[in-house]
Structure 1
Amino acid sequence: AKAAAQLRTLSATLLGAVQATLPLHPKAARRQLADCVLAALLRVQPIARLADDALSDIGADWLGHLGASGESGYLAFDTAPGTSCLALDRGVCCLDDRRAGGDMCNTCPRLPRAERLRRLGALDLRNSA
């Protein structure tokens, strides 16, 4: 809870600094923070050997402490080899497709859910960390 409070304070400070020059909506910033926290937890999952339901519970706790409940989440999908996995169910677009050579990521919230699931299911995750 203490780490989440520190992160919440830091993100509020950063949002204020960014808003001095860019029109960033607080809801988008909160969703981006939620996406980043849940993405970090996804990276820790194999190291900590957390089951999907445990990871989902931990993620929900973090988002609750950040005041961002429901702003992001996890999306369960089946991989090509038939294994169930979790991916980030983004709350906001990362806008990677707007840069030169960029493309919508596989979990872009601007893609229909069916397309996200299709893209994720086609990935070969057997050799990923």
Structure 2
Amino acid sequence: MVGIVIISHSRTLAEGVAEMARALGVGKAVVEPAGGDLEGGLGTSIDLVETALAAADGGDGVVLLADLGSSVLTAKMLIEDADRDDVLLADAPLVEGAVAAASMAATGADLATVHAAAESARDHRKAG
């Protein structure tokens, strides 16, 4: 199953989005939070993202969703440093993208389909 990692400046926000995505993904999706800095404050930590990535990675790839600026940069740096083609960053709103990705991942869809589902949330948001 494709895993999902929620990257946020806030640990509470990342955990809440992950909880919601898991629940709306029928509880089958693997969604891991990576929020805040190592001390529990606001910020981003590549170490926390790497840990969440390892926990979410079941072998079928991982979709990353990030909230703001440096979270996106952290995700891009991780992908570049890891030199993996099975980890994709979705350009999507955090909550809607996570729910769409988790719902699709729960069906057993492949990485490209889960990634596309997350990004489709961006398009639906613009249309609404």
Whether TM-score is above 0.5 comes out as no
**Structure showing the higher strand proportion among its residues:** 2
* TM-score, normalised via structure 1 length: 0.30
* Structure number with higher relative contact order (C-alpha < 8 Å, ≥ 6 residues apart): 2
* Largest Rg, 1 or 2: 1
